[in-house]
Structure 1
Amino acid sequence: MNDEARSLQREFFRIDEDVIDRVQHLKSRLMKYAETALETVFDHLIGNPDVAHYFEITDNITYLRAGMLAHCDELFSARFDEHYYEATEGMGERHAKLEFPAHVYTAAYSNMFARIVELAMADRRSFKTDDITALSRITHYDIELSMGAFYRHIMDKRAALSSDAQKIRHLVD
């Protein structure tokens, strides 16, 4: 996707200069909330029988926590540059390689977003409606990009496997 298409995509999500400025201004608070929110995200994942085995391994959580915080740092910088788009593509690809159902990622993301909002509203300097709206716009955009990459990588893998299967059938027949 070229820069013009990405710009139109952000425009469709109503990510304008006000949204970008607002999120950039809130970044230090958002990062603090994200660190705290990750605790409940991992607790929730550990409690899910479909994925608990993966999240019971401390090294996996350490790796994922660092990756998620790095991605939050990138997202809350709201630069939407090539580095950001590469990061969302990479995140989708890594998720696809784990082969968990898509709802695991969207639920974890949704739960983290909800926890960040809860923390922001409980803070003595609670968020304004425009702050929540800005955060909502960029996080929905981010999940769209990440899950789009997730599905692209799954489809590419299936296409490659199908192609390999056809080659094998051709050799056997």
Structure 2
Amino acid sequence: MLTFKRKEISHHNAPMTYPAKAEIANTKRELADRLFYMGFKQEHVKKLQELSPVITFILDDILETVLDHLMKSPEMAKIAKESSTRERLKKVFADYFRSLLSGKLDDEYFAMRKRMGETHNRFGVPVTWFLATYASFQTLLIPKVVEQLYKDPEELQKSLLAITHVMNLDSQLVTDHYMTIRMNALEEANQRNEQLQMEIASVSQEVAASVTQAEHTVIRTSESAAQILEETGQTEKSSKNLVGLAKENEKLMNEMERQFVQSAEKVGLSVEGMNNLKNTSEEIIKMTQGIEAIADQTNLLALNASIEAARAGEHGKGFAVVASEVRKLAENAKALSGQINGLIDQNNKGIQSLVLQMKELNEENHASQDNVKRVKTGLSTFQVEMENYLEMFGRNKKDLETIVSSIQEINETTSGLSLATEQLVKKAELK
């Protein structure tokens, strides 16, 4: 193990001057002025390499002590437990110190500090607390360095300056990355906020226009709903009148149906009476045919009597006269019987025509009766449907009343929303 060569304690006069630019540590060009301002020399970088063996030897004890001390702080303990484990933290700290004492201010060194800044930001470690962590390490580390070099003030001075300079530079770099991330986040948030304000203003204007349009629409809808409600009431009234008329028509149809039945019965009786007349006429015809037969026989007898009277001569003249009269009477009876038959035949034809007409009338009567039944059935169906419509109109009327009430409430709400939107637009424009 490398150790410092102990010297006897000697007096050392520390110069109160800044180093020349040529003595400044070699690193990134953009850090040159800052390192010159700090007085961070290249020899301080070499001194860190010389301190590496001593610090590495006590590093494990320092890290364990720092971690124990960290857990005593509720805020830091909470962040440590939520974001990592003790072993991982110890490894991170060990890697950090090895990088710190390497004396290499190269790209890998700066990349590590950038990652540290991103890590602290990601896990929400307050900047004041990770700056305090540097002081916490120095609280343990510096006394150990003094313990090794207190007899050589010049080496002690160089060692302490090297440690404080490099840890100060580290804190600057980590804080710079940390604050850069925060500032970028704030800038992005500010840009998003500005964009959001613009979108809010745009949306608010659109909402205001939409609300105004909706307000007009609601008003028109309310007026239309009120008109529909009024028309529904009128339709309901008309429907009630139609139901009343349907009931009256049903009564008239019942009466017509009854009259058709009576008419059919009368027609049936008339047809039956005419059939009876026809039968009577046929009986009369038969009787007249008998009369004609009797007339023919009588005529024949009168002819025979005339012949006999002619044979009797003078004695038969009176009988001949009687026979002639009888023959005339028989001929007249036959002629009258023929006339009666003609009249009866004509009457039968008329009766037959009337019977046909009565049958046709009866059939038409039945057809009309069927039509009346169908109309009656239709009226009954119409009445049932209209009663259903009336019931439906009643429900629709209640629903429309509810809708009109709801539209009025929506109109009031829309008016309030319109006012709120106008206020939002004004606020967005002010921002």
TM-score (ref. length: structure 1): 0.85
**Quick check: 1:34–1:112 contact (8 Å CA) kept in 2?**
no
Alignment partner of 2:75 out of 26, 50, 64: 50
Alignment partner of 1:171 out of 199, 208, 214: 199
Alignment partner of 1:80 out of 105, 108, 113: 105
Alignment partner of 1:136 out of 164, 171, 179: 164
1:34 aligns with 2:59: yes
Change (3 A) 1:19 1:114: same
**Quick check: 2:59–2:94 contact (8 Å CA) kept in 1?**
yes
Number of corresponding residues: 172
Alignment partner of 1:19 out of 44, 65, 69: 44
Counterpart code for 2:161: T
Counterpart code for 1:138: V
1:95 aligns with 2:123: no
Rounded Cα–Cα distance in structure 2 between residues aligned with 1:56 and 1:14? 38
Rounded Cα–Cα distance in structure 2 between residues aligned with 1:161 and 1:85? 27
| Identity across the alignment (%) | 16
2:29 aligned counterpart, secondary structure: helix
Identify which range, 80-89 or 158-167, moves more after superposition: 158-167
Q: From the two aligned structures, give the one with the greater helix fraction.
A: 2
Counterpart code for 1:11: F
The match for 2:178 is 150
Change (3 A) 1:58 1:120: farther
Alignment partner of 1:104 out of 122, 129, 134: 129
Which aligned segments of 4 or more residues in structure 1 are displaced greater than 6 angstroms?
Answer: 124-127
**Quick check: 2:149–2:156 contact (8 Å CA) kept in 1?**
no
**Quick check: 1:22–1:134 contact (8 Å CA) kept in 2?**
yes
Over residues 9-50 of structure 1, what are the superposed CA-to-partner deviations in whole Å (9 max), with x where a residue is unaligned? 222222212111111111122233333222222222211122
**Quick check: 2:45–2:162 contact (8 Å CA) kept in 1?**
yes
Over residues 86-108 of structure 1, what are the superposed CA-to-partner deviations in whole Å (9 max), with x where a residue is unaligned? 11111111111121321210111
Q: What does 1:54-65 correspond to in 2, within 5 Å?
A: 54-56=79-81, 59-65=84-90
Q: CA deviation at 1:58?
A: 9.7
Structure 1 unaligned residues grouped into runs of 5+: none
Aligned CA RMSD, in angstroms, stands at 2.5
Identify which range, 80-89 or 59-68, moves more after superposition: 59-68
Rounded Cα–Cα distance in structure 1 between residues aligned with 2:109 and 2:33? 16
**Quick check: 1:42–1:55 contact (8 Å CA) kept in 2?**
no
Rounded Cα–Cα distance in structure 2 between residues aligned with 1:50 and 1:170? 39
Rounded Cα–Cα distance in structure 1 between residues aligned with 2:149 and 2:106? 33
**Quick check: 1:19–1:134 contact (8 Å CA) kept in 2?**
yes
TM-score (ref. length: structure 2): 0.37
Rounded Cα–Cα distance in structure 2 between residues aligned with 1:149 and 1:9? 16
Rounded Cα–Cα distance in structure 2 between residues aligned with 1:134 and 1:70? 19
**More relative contact order in 1 or in 2 (CA 8 Å, sep 6+)?**
1
Q: CA deviation at 1:125?
A: 8.8
Rounded Cα–Cα distance in structure 2 between residues aligned with 1:57 and 1:152? 24
Q: CA deviation at 1:84?
A: 1.0
**Quick check: 2:121–2:178 contact (8 Å CA) kept in 1?**
yes
Q: CA deviation at 1:111?
A: 0.7
Structure 2 unaligned residues grouped into runs of 5+: 1-26, 202-431
Q: CA deviation at 1:112?
A: 0.6
